[in-house]
Structure 1
Amino acid sequence: MIYSAIALMSERGSAGVTIDSILAHSGAPRGSVYYHFPGGRTQIISEALAAASDVITSRIRDASAQGIQQGLSAMREFWKNLIVGSDFEAGCPIVAVIAGGGEDGAHNADQVAKAFADVQEILVAALVDEGFPPHRVDPLARFIIAAYEGAIILCRAQRSLTPLDEVTAELALLISSQVD
């Protein structure tokens, strides 16, 4: 049910995720929702957000450990697979929770902020390892996150991977020009 909630959040935003849609997507019986998630939909959204954050940060951490350029390539591949695999319907489930606003965004704002802070911390470490000056790494890490999140939205809107490819290429150029 958690993975179904993540998939649905990615495609519909958290406001579009209902208990009925989770049950239909997962094939789980209705009684299992109340057994495993006594907090109902609110608990499912929160746990799905945590699980999605864990997956995304662990993939970025693993790839960035081999260098920032490898991290960028891995981020591109991760998002490409998600976007293409969903026929351009899915985006970032973390963004989906906060972008829709409302109760889900308010209830999970701290968790969303932590997810982005975790990604930023990983990118900062990779940039420091690459030789970037300490005063540049925080803004650049935020810029990388914002560029990819924007590219994901553009890919969905344009039904094209071009924005993702261009962002990855431009970030690679920016980074290599700063450390060469």
Structure 2
Amino acid sequence: MTRQGQETRLRLIRAAVALYQSRGYHATGVSAILDHAGVPKGSMYHHFPGGKQALTIAAVDYLAEDMAARFARTADGGARACIQITRLFTDAAASLEAHDYAQGALLSLLAQEVEPGETALRSRIAQAYRDASRQLADNLAEGGADMPEELATTVLAALDGGVARARAQRSTVGLHSAGEVLARLAGE
């Protein structure tokens, strides 16, 4: 793929992510994604012959890579588990505030909206959650956490719920509170 082709593909993915986060999966049509990305219609089907579902799978891959990088940053320098958790919740709160509460937890949003018949997309979302849980658990274990698998699952669930609540209330107070409680559970 040419450099221009890679850039066009990435613009489509980023446009889909931004629009899905702010509007939702079903409320976002292909034409809105094309307009947001600033690319012609042919680009969509050239890069994603499977249409919107294929683009959304690529968006989930993009998010999974972003989550992996975020987890790596929070564990940077061998940070203790409690510090990693605090960083995750603080980063999520800062992102919400920076985007004026318009961006949500996309994996969670997609998991709620994807139809049962969209098996490839549903499967990719489930795999992204498994991968995120495993990576976070590994990082938390290295940071000294007891029961890292259970803690990672709880942290991810609290982040998803905390982001949804913060968006609804336009406040990150609950998100910070959840992070503080989970950080204490991870140990000081």
Overall identity of the aligned pairs, in %: 25
Q: CA RMSD for the aligned pairs?
A: 1.9
Instruction: Give the drift of 1:46.
Output: 0.9
Q: 1:124 to 1:21 in 2, by over 3 A?
A: same
Question: Which of 84, 87, 102 matches 2:100?
Answer: 87
- Tell me the residue number matched to 2:152: 141
Contact 2:34 2:40 in 1 (8 A): yes
Corresponding residue number in structure 2 for 1:2: 13
The AA in structure 1 aligned to 2:65 is D
Q: In 2, are the aligned partners of 1:5 and 1:22 still within 8 Å (CA)? A: yes
Cα distance in 1, alignment partners of residues 100 and 145 from structure 2: 37
Higher relative contact order (CA 8 A, sep 6+): 2
Deviations 1:22-61 (A, max 9, x none): 0121111222112222221111111111111111122112
Contact 1:98–1:108 (CA under 8 A) maintained in structure 2? no
Runs of 4 or more consecutive aligned structure 1 residues displaced over 6 Å after TM superposition: none
> 2:37 maps to which residue?
26
Aligned partner letter, 1:120: S
CA contact (8 A) 2:114 2:122 kept: no
Are the structure 2 counterparts of residues 102 and 75 from structure 1 closer, same or farther at C-alpha, using a change threshold of 3 Å? same
Gaps of 5+ in 2: 1-11
Determine which structure has the larger helix proportion and give its number: 1
Deviations along 1:80-107, one digit per CA (max 9) or x if unpaired, are 2331232112111111211113258643
What's 1:169 paired with?
A: 180
- TM-score, normalised on structure 2? 0.83
Question: Number of paired residues?
Answer: 175
Question: Which piece of structure 1 moves more, 51-60 or 31-40?
Answer: 31-40
Q: Compute the TM-score of the two structures, normalised by the length of structure 1.
A: 0.87
